[in-house]
Amino acid sequence: MPFVEHPQIIPDTVEERTYQVSLARQCLDYNSLLILPTGLGKTIVALIVTAEILEKNGKVLILAPTKPLVDQHSSSFSHFLSKAKVGMMNGNMDPEKRYAVIEEHDVIISTPQVVSNDLEHERYSMDLFKLVIFDEAHRAVGNYSYVSVAEKYTGLALGMTASPGSDLKKIEEVCDNLSLVRVDMRTEDDPDVSPYVHDIYTNKIFVTVPQDLADMIAVMNTILDGYIKELLQMRLMDPSWPASTTHMLTIGETLQRRLKRGEKSMTVFRGLVVQSICIKMLHAIGLAESQGVSALRIYLKKIDVESQEAKGNKASKELMKDREFRTLSKMVAQTRTEHPKISQVMGLVSKELNSERNSKVLVFSHYRDTCELLVEKLSLIEGAKVGKLIGQSNGGLRQKEQVQLLNDFREGEYNVVISTSVGEEGLDVASTDMVIFYEPVPSEIRTIQRRGRTGRKNDGEVYVLIAKGTRDEVFENTSRKKEEKMRSRLERLNRELERRKPISNKQSRLNSDD
């Protein structure tokens, strides 16, 4: 196996892959958005670019959106770089100490919020850096800190992402905000990449919603239809736009604007309550269809608790008085039915662990309550050592605990991890043999990131569980179509950027080094 040979990289540590070296060369010439699916080595490309800048005595700033990602990059770059001093900055440091980190180190890694705050207080200048790397660059929209940092920087920039999404305007916004003039991308199908990747087999498993659950969904749809009719009668809802959470949120925003302008009509006050009820019912239906009775039961309990508070939610109070809603609550309390997805996950995990002793399985679920249930159920499987990867909010895992759990997964302390969306983006999740989507997600970015958690070291299996006749089917179809659009739109954007691309950064950078 050939290795990258470079004065700044420790010998025999980085496998030389043609596409990574080629991408690195291009990224040295132009401010680039690098798009590589998870597992194809964005970090290695960034490492090679960094090594070239270090060789010319330039400082490098690497920005990552979370502290675990900062720690991860620090570990990787320290492991591979032979001469450079790698330092980290965080918001808990005194500003003077952060400036000392910049002065004393060649590669500085930080969250963007810290750097943005320092620049706002003029503690240092971005002129100190000859290269800035923006990890998870698709975040560089709106008022995210990447944008304010990039505004104060004029040198070589590299944005990295596994998937920028299919929205061309958003991709253009990212490129404009970070002053990126070229899109460099590869997929597993490209001829210079395919020799280095393993096959990922995607399997769709369709399940039928059991009758008990279907009856509950029918009751909820009856309740929802009544309130939608009321919104239509008040002329607050567009009859040509299907009822959805997005639609209801739009109605709410319109009503809030009317309220702020001083309108205190019954239409506004009643409309806000009704659209809130519709959002709750749409969420409850979604839980029943894609998650199961346990998740629905927990959510109905939450509505009950809200209704009993002195200044409780008006929507919750009204729902608890609704005769159909009380019927629904009784149905949920009495049933022992679980979603058939539970038994499917248990069967898949059991089969995988029995067929290969050292297998690792990653199960994604959108909802934390479902994660809890899956941990409970999968822990019953012989040989399963189950861990749970969740975010920090509401008593979840702190960032250090997330990193420790992933280390334990890598080392074999766990062989099954149940994860919410926190495991999708950026974090160095160990290569897995099987990834299970408990439900499809309507985002091509999240789908690509989930899928990329397998097939790194050997062939991988991806299973997507889909409840027939529910929004699961809609979400799976939406994600697939967005992914198909993404590549063609990126190619079109790159052609547009090529037409307006300036002269290479390379000559001006070399001149500034003289």
346 and 327 in one domain?
A: no
270 and 222 in one domain?
A: yes
In a domain, 65, yes or no: yes
CATH of the domain at 374: 3.40.50.300
Give backbone dihedrals phi and psi of 412, rounded to 5 degrees, phi first.
95, 5
353 and 296 in one domain?
A: no
Give backbone dihedrals phi and psi of 106, rounded to 5 degrees, phi first.
-95, -35
Q: What is the pLDDT of residue 455?
A: 42
Q: What is the pLDDT of residue 402?
A: 85
In a domain, 119, yes or no: yes
DSSP one-letter string for 190-205: STTTGGG---EEEEEE
Q: What is the pLDDT of residue 395?
A: 78
Strands (E), 313-415: 361-364, 386-389
Total count of domains within the chain:
3
362 and 292 in one domain?
A: no
390 and 287 in one domain?
A: no
CATH of the domain at 319: 1.20.1320.20
In a domain, 63, yes or no: yes
- Range list of H helices, 30-110: 42-55, 67-80, 95-104
DSSP, res 442: S
- Distance in angstroms (rounded) separating the CA atoms of residues 369 and 61: 39
Selection from 237, 255, 262 nearest residue 247 by Cα = 237
Residues in the chain: 514
Looking at 196, 219, 252, the residue that finishes a domain is: 196
Read off the pLDDT of residues 19-58 as tens digits, 9 standing for 90 and up.
Answer: 999 999 999 999 999 988 777 788 999 999 999 999 999 9
Q: What is the pLDDT of residue 501?
A: 53
Give the distance between the most distant pair of CA atoms in the chain.
Answer: 80
pTM: 0.67
Q: What is the pLDDT of residue 507?
A: 38
Strands (E), 300-441: 361-364, 386-389, 416-419, 434-437
Residues of the chain with pLDDT under 70: 165-166, 197-200, 423-431, 442-460, 483-484, 487, 490, 493-514
Give backbone dihedrals phi and psi of 114, rounded to 5 degrees, phi first.
-65, -50
454 and 321 in one domain?
A: no
- Beta carbons within 10 angstroms of residue 474's beta carbon: 11
Q: What is the pLDDT of residue 451?
A: 54
380 and 261 in one domain?
A: no
Residues 499, 61, 110, 162, CA torsion sign: positive
In a domain, 364, yes or no: yes
How many Å from the N-terminal Cα to the C-terminal Cα in the chain? 37
In a domain, 11, yes or no: no
346 and 321 in one domain?
A: no
Q: What is the pLDDT of residue 392?
A: 81
Read off the pLDDT of residues 419-461 as tens digits, 9 standing for 90 and up.
Answer: 887 765 555 555 678 889 899 876 655 555 555 544 444 556 8
328 and 344 in one domain?
A: no
Selection from 8, 38, 9, 4 nearest residue 22 by Cα = 4
State both tokens at 85: 């001093």
- Distance in angstroms (rounded) separating the CA atoms of residues 366 and 442: 11
Selection from 181, 138, 188 nearest residue 163 by Cα = 138
278 and 246 in one domain?
A: yes
Q: What is the pLDDT of residue 480?
A: 73
Q: What residues make up the domain containing 95?
A: 18-196
278 and 390 in one domain?
A: no
Selection from 136, 184, 178, 170 nearest residue 153 by Cα = 178
- Distance in angstroms (rounded) separating the CA atoms of residues 287 and 300: 11
In a domain, 487, yes or no: no
Looking at 315, 334, 353, the residue that finishes a domain is: 334
Q: What is the pLDDT of residue 512?
A: 45
- Distance in angstroms (rounded) separating the CA atoms of residues 390 and 397: 6
Looking at 334, 352, 383, the residue that finishes a domain is: 334
275 and 346 in one domain?
A: no
In a domain, 484, yes or no: no
In a domain, 389, yes or no: yes
